[in-house]
Amino acid sequence: MAIAERIENKTARIAVVGLGYVGLPLAARMAGVGLRTLGIDIQKARVDRVNNGISDIADVPTADLAPLVASGTLSAHSDFSVVADADAVVICVPTPLSKTRDPDNSYIVNALESVGPHVRKGQLFVLESTTYPGFTREVMAPMLEKSGLRAGVDFHVAFSPERIDPGNERYGVKNTTKIVGGLTPACSAAVKALYGAFIDHVKAVSSPDAAEMVKLLENTFRAVNIGLVNEIALMSDKLGLNVFEVIEAAATKPFGFMPFYPGPGLGGHCIPIDPLYLSWKLKAMNYQARFIELADAINTSMPAHVVGRVQDALNDHGRALKGAKVLVLGVAYKRDIDDYRESPAITILDLLHKKGATADYYDPYVPSFREDGHTRTGIASLDGLADYDAAVIVTDHKVIDYGDIVARAKVVVDTRNATKNVTDHRDKIRML
Protein backbone atom coordinates (compact mmCIF):
# COMPACT_ATOMS: atom_id res chain seq x y z
CA MET A 1 0.00 0.00 0.00
CA ALA A 2 1.39 3.46 -0.89
CA ILE A 3 2.54 5.64 1.98
CA ALA A 4 -0.12 8.32 1.33
CA GLU A 5 -2.84 5.73 1.73
CA ARG A 6 -1.32 4.37 4.95
CA ILE A 7 -1.20 7.91 6.34
CA GLU A 8 -4.78 8.55 5.27
CA ASN A 9 -6.13 5.40 6.92
CA LYS A 10 -3.86 5.93 9.98
CA THR A 11 -1.99 2.64 9.64
CA ALA A 12 1.32 4.44 8.94
CA ARG A 13 4.05 4.55 11.56
CA ILE A 14 6.19 7.66 11.80
CA ALA A 15 9.65 7.87 13.37
CA VAL A 16 10.82 11.24 14.68
CA VAL A 17 14.59 11.42 15.25
CA GLY A 18 15.51 14.04 17.90
CA LEU A 19 12.95 14.84 20.61
CA GLY A 20 13.91 18.43 21.42
CA TYR A 21 12.16 21.78 20.96
CA VAL A 22 11.20 20.79 17.40
CA GLY A 23 10.89 16.99 17.47
CA LEU A 24 8.74 16.55 20.58
CA PRO A 25 5.96 19.01 19.58
CA LEU A 26 5.93 17.41 16.12
CA ALA A 27 5.76 13.87 17.52
CA ALA A 28 2.97 14.89 19.91
CA ARG A 29 1.01 16.50 17.09
CA MET A 30 1.32 13.41 14.88
CA ALA A 31 0.35 11.09 17.70
CA GLY A 32 -2.49 13.47 18.53
CA VAL A 33 -4.18 12.71 15.21
CA GLY A 34 -3.78 8.98 15.77
CA LEU A 35 -0.60 8.29 13.82
CA ARG A 36 1.56 5.72 15.61
CA THR A 37 4.68 7.73 16.41
CA LEU A 38 8.09 6.37 17.36
CA GLY A 39 10.37 9.02 18.87
CA ILE A 40 14.11 8.34 18.82
CA ASP A 41 16.75 10.19 20.81
CA ILE A 42 20.35 9.52 21.86
CA GLN A 43 19.68 11.04 25.30
CA LYS A 44 18.54 8.10 27.37
CA ALA A 45 17.14 10.36 30.11
CA ARG A 46 14.94 12.18 27.57
CA VAL A 47 13.67 8.86 26.17
CA ASP A 48 12.83 7.65 29.67
CA ARG A 49 11.05 10.89 30.53
CA VAL A 50 8.89 10.70 27.41
CA ASN A 51 8.06 7.06 28.09
CA ASN A 52 6.98 8.12 31.60
CA GLY A 53 4.67 10.65 29.96
CA ILE A 54 6.71 13.62 31.18
CA SER A 55 7.51 16.55 28.91
CA ASP A 56 10.49 18.84 29.40
CA ILE A 57 9.48 21.03 26.44
CA ALA A 58 7.17 23.89 27.47
CA ASP A 59 5.17 23.80 24.20
CA VAL A 60 4.12 20.19 24.96
CA PRO A 61 2.31 20.13 28.32
CA THR A 62 2.79 16.89 30.25
CA ALA A 63 -1.02 16.71 30.46
CA ASP A 64 -1.11 16.40 26.65
CA LEU A 65 1.82 14.01 26.35
CA ALA A 66 0.90 11.51 29.06
CA PRO A 67 -2.32 10.16 27.42
CA LEU A 68 -0.55 9.73 24.07
CA VAL A 69 2.11 7.61 25.77
CA ALA A 70 -0.41 5.73 27.92
CA SER A 71 -2.45 4.77 24.84
CA GLY A 72 0.70 3.50 23.09
CA THR A 73 0.29 5.99 20.22
CA LEU A 74 3.59 7.64 21.11
CA SER A 75 6.66 5.83 22.38
CA ALA A 76 10.31 6.83 22.70
CA HIS A 77 13.37 4.73 21.85
CA SER A 78 17.15 4.89 21.97
CA ASP A 79 17.48 2.04 19.53
CA PHE A 80 17.35 3.00 15.86
CA SER A 81 16.13 -0.46 14.79
CA VAL A 82 12.54 0.88 15.13
CA VAL A 83 13.26 2.84 11.92
CA ALA A 84 12.70 -0.42 10.02
CA ASP A 85 9.05 -0.36 11.24
CA ALA A 86 8.46 3.22 10.11
CA ASP A 87 6.80 4.38 6.90
CA ALA A 88 8.25 7.86 7.33
CA VAL A 89 11.30 9.10 9.22
CA VAL A 90 11.54 12.78 10.17
CA ILE A 91 14.89 14.12 11.35
CA CYS A 92 14.92 17.01 13.86
CA VAL A 93 18.45 17.10 15.31
CA PRO A 94 20.47 20.23 16.08
CA THR A 95 22.41 22.17 13.43
CA PRO A 96 24.70 24.53 15.34
CA LEU A 97 27.87 26.35 14.25
CA SER A 98 31.38 25.02 14.77
CA LYS A 99 33.96 26.97 16.80
CA THR A 100 34.97 28.69 13.53
CA ARG A 101 31.29 29.68 12.96
CA ASP A 102 30.87 27.29 10.03
CA PRO A 103 27.86 24.92 9.67
CA ASP A 104 28.11 21.86 11.92
CA ASN A 105 26.06 19.17 10.22
CA SER A 106 27.58 16.38 12.30
CA TYR A 107 24.33 15.72 14.22
CA ILE A 108 22.44 15.09 10.97
CA VAL A 109 25.27 12.95 9.61
CA ASN A 110 25.36 10.89 12.84
CA ALA A 111 21.58 10.47 12.77
CA LEU A 112 21.68 9.37 9.12
CA GLU A 113 24.45 6.87 9.90
CA SER A 114 22.26 5.36 12.62
CA VAL A 115 19.20 5.34 10.34
CA GLY A 116 21.16 3.90 7.37
CA PRO A 117 21.14 0.18 8.26
CA HIS A 118 17.33 0.22 8.59
CA VAL A 119 16.42 1.86 5.26
CA ARG A 120 13.90 -0.12 3.25
CA LYS A 121 11.92 0.27 0.05
CA GLY A 122 8.94 2.65 0.04
CA GLN A 123 9.97 4.74 3.06
CA LEU A 124 9.88 8.54 3.19
CA PHE A 125 12.81 10.43 4.76
CA VAL A 126 12.27 14.06 5.69
CA LEU A 127 14.86 16.46 7.06
CA GLU A 128 13.50 19.26 9.27
CA SER A 129 16.80 20.50 10.70
CA THR A 130 17.80 23.83 9.19
CA THR A 131 20.67 23.48 6.75
CA TYR A 132 22.18 25.07 3.63
CA PRO A 133 20.62 24.76 0.15
CA GLY A 134 21.73 21.52 -1.44
CA PHE A 135 22.35 19.48 1.72
CA THR A 136 19.33 17.17 1.38
CA ARG A 137 20.14 16.34 -2.24
CA GLU A 138 23.94 16.35 -2.05
CA VAL A 139 24.56 14.78 1.37
CA MET A 140 21.42 13.19 2.83
CA ALA A 141 20.18 11.30 -0.26
CA PRO A 142 23.61 9.75 -1.05
CA MET A 143 24.04 8.70 2.61
CA LEU A 144 20.69 6.89 2.53
CA GLU A 145 21.64 5.33 -0.83
CA LYS A 146 24.45 3.45 0.91
CA SER A 147 21.63 1.00 1.60
CA GLY A 148 21.87 -0.01 -2.07
CA LEU A 149 18.43 1.53 -2.76
CA ARG A 150 17.97 4.63 -4.92
CA ALA A 151 16.64 7.95 -3.59
CA GLY A 152 13.58 9.14 -5.50
CA VAL A 153 13.11 5.69 -6.99
CA ASP A 154 13.09 3.15 -4.14
CA PHE A 155 12.46 5.58 -1.30
CA HIS A 156 11.31 9.20 -0.96
CA VAL A 157 13.46 12.10 0.24
CA ALA A 158 12.29 15.61 1.13
CA PHE A 159 13.22 18.71 3.08
CA SER A 160 10.64 20.51 5.18
CA PRO A 161 11.82 23.40 7.33
CA GLU A 162 10.62 23.65 10.90
CA ARG A 163 9.07 27.09 11.42
CA ILE A 164 7.82 26.93 15.00
CA ASP A 165 8.28 29.87 17.31
CA PRO A 166 8.65 28.46 20.84
CA GLY A 167 6.29 30.09 23.31
CA ASN A 168 4.05 31.53 20.57
CA GLU A 169 0.51 30.99 21.77
CA ARG A 170 -1.13 31.99 18.46
CA TYR A 171 0.87 29.97 15.92
CA GLY A 172 1.99 26.39 16.55
CA VAL A 173 2.61 23.25 14.47
CA LYS A 174 -1.02 22.96 13.29
CA ASN A 175 -1.71 26.46 11.99
CA THR A 176 1.69 27.40 10.58
CA THR A 177 1.83 26.54 6.86
CA LYS A 178 4.32 23.74 6.24
CA ILE A 179 6.76 24.12 3.35
CA VAL A 180 7.86 20.87 1.68
CA GLY A 181 10.25 20.14 -1.17
CA GLY A 182 10.68 16.58 -2.49
CA LEU A 183 13.45 15.17 -4.63
CA THR A 184 10.84 14.06 -7.22
CA PRO A 185 7.12 14.81 -7.69
CA ALA A 186 6.37 11.47 -6.00
CA CYS A 187 8.54 12.46 -3.02
CA SER A 188 6.63 15.78 -2.81
CA ALA A 189 3.29 13.95 -2.93
CA ALA A 190 4.37 11.62 -0.10
CA VAL A 191 5.63 14.43 2.13
CA LYS A 192 2.50 16.50 1.45
CA ALA A 193 0.37 13.55 2.51
CA LEU A 194 2.35 13.18 5.73
CA TYR A 195 2.05 16.79 6.91
CA GLY A 196 -1.44 17.22 5.46
CA ALA A 197 -2.60 14.68 8.06
CA PHE A 198 -2.03 17.09 10.95
CA ILE A 199 -1.21 20.57 9.59
CA ASP A 200 -3.85 22.92 8.15
CA HIS A 201 -1.89 24.08 5.08
CA VAL A 202 1.03 22.48 3.25
CA LYS A 203 2.81 24.29 0.43
CA ALA A 204 5.08 22.35 -1.91
CA VAL A 205 8.02 24.01 -3.64
CA SER A 206 9.86 22.53 -6.60
CA SER A 207 12.86 20.96 -4.82
CA PRO A 208 14.46 20.29 -1.44
CA ASP A 209 16.95 23.07 -2.27
CA ALA A 210 14.12 25.60 -2.68
CA ALA A 211 12.61 24.49 0.66
CA GLU A 212 16.02 24.86 2.34
CA MET A 213 16.32 28.36 0.87
CA VAL A 214 12.81 29.34 2.09
CA LYS A 215 13.89 28.76 5.68
CA LEU A 216 17.12 30.68 5.19
CA LEU A 217 15.30 33.59 3.56
CA GLU A 218 12.89 33.78 6.51
CA ASN A 219 15.60 33.79 9.13
CA THR A 220 17.97 36.01 7.15
CA PHE A 221 15.08 38.48 6.79
CA ARG A 222 14.80 38.59 10.57
CA ALA A 223 18.54 38.76 11.25
CA VAL A 224 19.05 41.57 8.71
CA ASN A 225 16.07 43.61 9.92
CA ILE A 226 17.13 43.21 13.53
CA GLY A 227 20.66 44.23 12.46
CA LEU A 228 19.22 47.32 10.79
CA VAL A 229 17.16 48.32 13.79
CA ASN A 230 20.09 47.63 16.13
CA GLU A 231 22.13 50.06 14.07
CA ILE A 232 19.26 52.57 14.26
CA ALA A 233 19.47 52.11 18.06
CA LEU A 234 23.21 52.83 18.03
CA MET A 235 22.60 55.95 15.92
CA SER A 236 19.68 57.07 18.12
CA ASP A 237 21.93 56.71 21.16
CA LYS A 238 24.46 59.07 19.58
CA LEU A 239 21.64 61.50 18.70
CA GLY A 240 20.19 61.37 22.20
CA LEU A 241 16.94 59.81 20.96
CA ASN A 242 14.86 56.98 22.42
CA VAL A 243 14.84 54.41 19.61
CA PHE A 244 11.75 52.64 20.98
CA GLU A 245 9.74 55.86 20.80
CA VAL A 246 10.90 56.32 17.18
CA ILE A 247 9.93 52.75 16.19
CA GLU A 248 6.53 52.92 17.87
CA ALA A 249 5.74 56.10 15.98
CA ALA A 250 7.00 54.67 12.65
CA ALA A 251 4.84 51.57 13.23
CA THR A 252 1.68 53.69 13.02
CA LYS A 253 2.21 53.69 9.23
CA PRO A 254 -0.23 51.05 7.98
CA PHE A 255 1.80 50.14 4.86
CA GLY A 256 5.44 49.85 3.82
CA PHE A 257 6.81 49.49 7.36
CA MET A 258 7.08 46.48 9.64
CA PRO A 259 8.43 47.11 13.15
CA PHE A 260 11.46 45.19 14.36
CA TYR A 261 12.91 45.93 17.77
CA PRO A 262 16.50 46.40 18.86
CA GLY A 263 17.91 44.51 21.79
CA PRO A 264 20.99 43.15 23.52
CA GLY A 265 21.90 40.88 20.57
CA LEU A 266 20.49 37.83 18.83
CA GLY A 267 19.89 34.54 20.62
CA GLY A 268 18.38 31.11 20.17
CA HIS A 269 19.18 28.19 17.95
CA CYS A 270 17.96 29.82 14.70
CA ILE A 271 18.31 33.53 13.91
CA PRO A 272 21.99 34.01 14.91
CA ILE A 273 23.00 30.77 13.19
CA ASP A 274 20.92 30.00 10.10
CA PRO A 275 22.01 32.97 7.92
CA LEU A 276 25.62 31.85 8.40
CA TYR A 277 24.70 28.49 6.80
CA LEU A 278 23.70 30.45 3.70
CA SER A 279 26.76 32.72 3.66
CA TRP A 280 29.03 29.66 4.14
CA LYS A 281 27.48 27.91 1.15
CA LEU A 282 27.86 31.01 -1.02
CA LYS A 283 31.47 31.54 0.12
CA ALA A 284 32.29 28.18 -1.44
CA MET A 285 30.83 29.60 -4.69
CA ASN A 286 33.04 32.67 -4.42
CA TYR A 287 30.12 34.95 -3.48
CA GLN A 288 30.09 37.18 -0.42
CA ALA A 289 26.72 37.41 1.34
CA ARG A 290 27.14 41.08 2.27
CA PHE A 291 23.86 41.78 4.08
CA ILE A 292 24.28 38.67 6.23
CA GLU A 293 27.85 39.54 7.20
CA LEU A 294 26.99 43.16 8.04
CA ALA A 295 23.95 42.17 10.11
CA ASP A 296 26.02 39.55 11.93
CA ALA A 297 28.73 42.12 12.71
CA ILE A 298 26.18 44.62 14.10
CA ASN A 299 24.14 42.03 16.01
CA THR A 300 27.19 40.44 17.64
CA SER A 301 28.43 43.89 18.71
CA MET A 302 25.29 44.56 20.79
CA PRO A 303 26.35 42.81 24.04
CA ALA A 304 29.45 45.06 24.19
CA HIS A 305 27.21 48.09 23.59
CA VAL A 306 24.98 47.00 26.51
CA VAL A 307 28.00 46.69 28.79
CA GLY A 308 29.04 50.18 27.64
CA ARG A 309 25.59 51.46 28.66
CA VAL A 310 26.00 49.85 32.11
CA GLN A 311 29.40 51.51 32.39
CA ASP A 312 27.89 54.91 31.44
CA ALA A 313 25.03 54.46 33.90
CA LEU A 314 27.43 53.65 36.74
CA ASN A 315 29.67 56.54 35.73
CA ASP A 316 26.72 58.93 36.09
CA HIS A 317 26.56 57.75 39.71
CA GLY A 318 30.31 58.23 40.23
CA ARG A 319 30.92 54.50 40.18
CA ALA A 320 33.36 52.46 38.07
CA LEU A 321 32.29 49.19 36.42
CA LYS A 322 35.37 47.53 37.90
CA GLY A 323 34.38 46.35 41.36
CA ALA A 324 30.68 47.12 40.81
CA LYS A 325 27.89 44.60 41.52
CA VAL A 326 25.67 44.18 38.47
CA LEU A 327 22.50 42.10 38.19
CA VAL A 328 21.50 40.75 34.78
CA LEU A 329 17.72 40.26 34.59
CA GLY A 330 16.90 37.34 32.27
CA VAL A 331 19.26 34.91 30.53
CA ALA A 332 16.74 33.16 28.25
CA TYR A 333 17.21 34.43 24.70
CA LYS A 334 13.66 35.79 24.60
CA ARG A 335 10.79 36.45 26.95
CA ASP A 336 8.74 33.77 28.72
CA ILE A 337 10.81 30.75 27.61
CA ASP A 338 13.58 28.68 29.22
CA ASP A 339 15.92 28.38 26.20
CA TYR A 340 19.26 30.12 26.74
CA ARG A 341 21.10 28.82 23.66
CA GLU A 342 23.24 31.56 22.05
CA SER A 343 21.70 34.03 24.51
CA PRO A 344 23.39 37.46 24.47
CA ALA A 345 22.96 37.49 28.27
CA ILE A 346 25.76 34.92 28.52
CA THR A 347 28.13 37.17 26.55
CA ILE A 348 27.06 40.15 28.68
CA LEU A 349 27.79 38.24 31.92
CA ASP A 350 31.22 37.26 30.54
CA LEU A 351 32.04 40.82 29.44
CA LEU A 352 31.00 42.21 32.83
CA HIS A 353 33.27 39.69 34.59
CA LYS A 354 36.15 40.53 32.24
CA LYS A 355 35.78 44.20 33.12
CA GLY A 356 36.09 43.43 36.81
CA ALA A 357 32.41 43.63 37.81
CA THR A 358 30.68 41.04 39.97
CA ALA A 359 27.80 39.94 37.76
CA ASP A 360 24.91 37.77 38.95
CA TYR A 361 21.76 36.91 37.10
CA TYR A 362 18.10 36.33 37.91
CA ASP A 363 15.79 34.36 35.63
CA PRO A 364 12.69 32.56 36.93
CA TYR A 365 12.71 30.35 33.80
CA VAL A 366 16.42 29.46 33.93
CA PRO A 367 17.47 28.81 37.55
CA SER A 368 20.85 27.53 36.31
CA PHE A 369 22.52 26.81 32.99
CA ARG A 370 25.55 25.06 31.58
CA GLU A 371 28.02 26.79 29.30
CA ASP A 372 31.45 25.51 28.23
CA GLY A 373 31.30 22.71 30.79
CA HIS A 374 30.50 25.02 33.75
CA THR A 375 27.21 25.39 35.56
CA ARG A 376 26.11 28.90 36.50
CA THR A 377 23.34 29.36 39.01
CA GLY A 378 21.20 32.46 39.20
CA ILE A 379 20.08 34.19 42.37
CA ALA A 380 16.85 32.69 43.66
CA SER A 381 14.97 35.91 44.38
CA LEU A 382 15.12 39.65 43.89
CA ASP A 383 15.12 40.35 47.64
CA GLY A 384 18.70 41.70 47.52
CA LEU A 385 18.15 43.91 44.45
CA ALA A 386 19.00 47.12 46.33
CA ASP A 387 22.51 45.75 47.04
CA TYR A 388 23.42 45.89 43.34
CA ASP A 389 24.98 48.98 41.80
CA ALA A 390 23.09 48.42 38.55
CA ALA A 391 20.47 46.10 37.09
CA VAL A 392 20.33 45.40 33.36
CA ILE A 393 17.16 44.06 31.75
CA VAL A 394 18.32 41.62 29.08
CA THR A 395 15.17 39.46 28.79
CA ASP A 396 11.77 41.02 29.42
CA HIS A 397 9.91 38.09 31.01
CA LYS A 398 6.31 39.11 31.67
CA VAL A 399 6.26 37.71 35.22
CA ILE A 400 8.70 40.38 36.41
CA ASP A 401 7.31 43.58 37.91
CA TYR A 402 9.43 46.25 36.23
CA GLY A 403 7.91 49.06 38.27
CA ASP A 404 9.18 47.32 41.39
CA ILE A 405 12.61 46.78 39.79
CA VAL A 406 12.96 50.47 38.98
CA ALA A 407 11.71 51.48 42.43
CA ARG A 408 14.26 49.32 44.26
CA ALA A 409 17.33 49.30 41.95
CA LYS A 410 19.94 52.07 42.07
CA VAL A 411 20.02 52.31 38.28
CA VAL A 412 18.42 50.21 35.50
CA VAL A 413 19.68 49.68 31.95
CA ASP A 414 16.71 48.63 29.84
CA THR A 415 17.61 46.87 26.57
CA ARG A 416 14.02 45.80 25.78
CA ASN A 417 11.80 48.77 26.59
CA ALA A 418 10.39 46.66 29.44
CA THR A 419 10.00 49.78 31.59
CA LYS A 420 7.90 51.71 29.09
CA ASN A 421 4.85 51.80 31.35
CA VAL A 422 6.81 52.66 34.49
CA THR A 423 6.06 56.25 35.46
CA ASP A 424 7.95 56.68 38.77
CA HIS A 425 11.73 57.11 39.16
CA ARG A 426 12.31 57.35 35.39
CA ASP A 427 15.55 59.22 36.11
CA LYS A 428 17.02 55.84 37.16
CA ILE A 429 16.44 54.27 33.73
CA ARG A 430 18.98 54.21 30.89
CA MET A 431 17.68 52.84 27.58
CA LEU A 432 19.67 50.57 25.22
Ligand X SMILES: NC(=O)c1ccc[n+]([C@@H]2O[C@H](COP(=O)([O-])OP(=O)(O)OC[C@H]3O[C@@H](n4cnc5c(N)ncnc54)[C@H](O)[C@@H]3O)[C@@H](O)[C@H]2O)c1
Residues in contact with ligand X by CB under 6 A are: 17-23, 40-43, 46, 92-95, 107, 110-111, 114, 128-130, 162, 164, 166, 269-270
The catalytically annotated residue of 91, 190, 270, 273 is 270
Shortest Cβ distance from residue 371 to ligand X (Å)? 15
Shortest approach of ligand X to residue 341 CB, angstroms? 8
CA separation for the pair 231, 296 (Å, rounded): 11
Q: Give me the amino acid identity at 2.
A: A
Q: Which of 397, 405, 427 is nearest to 334 (CA)?
A: 397
270 is catalytic: yes
Q: Residue 222 and residue 153: Cα distance in Å, rounded? A: 37
CB 286 within 8 A of CB 279: no
By residue count, the chain amounts to 432
Least Å distance, CB 415 to ligand X, is 21
Q: φ and ψ at 36, to 5 degrees?
A: -65, 120
CA geometry: angle 206, 207, 210, nearest 5 deg: 90
- Which residue lies nearer to ligand X by CB, 85 or 401? 85
- In the complex with ligand X, the residue whose CB is nearer, 11 or 43, is 43
Query: In the bound complex, what is the minimum distance in angstroms from residue 216's beta carbon to ligand X?
Result: 11
Nearer to ligand X, 18 or 344 (CB): 18
For ligand X, which is the closer residue by CB, 17 or 126? Answer: 17
From the CB of residue 40, how many other CB atoms can be counted at a distance below 10 Å?
28
71 vs 110, beta carbon nearer ligand X? 110
- Give 152 or 167: the residue with its C-beta nearer to ligand X: 167
Pairing of strands 412-414, 429-431: parallel
Known catalytic residues are 270
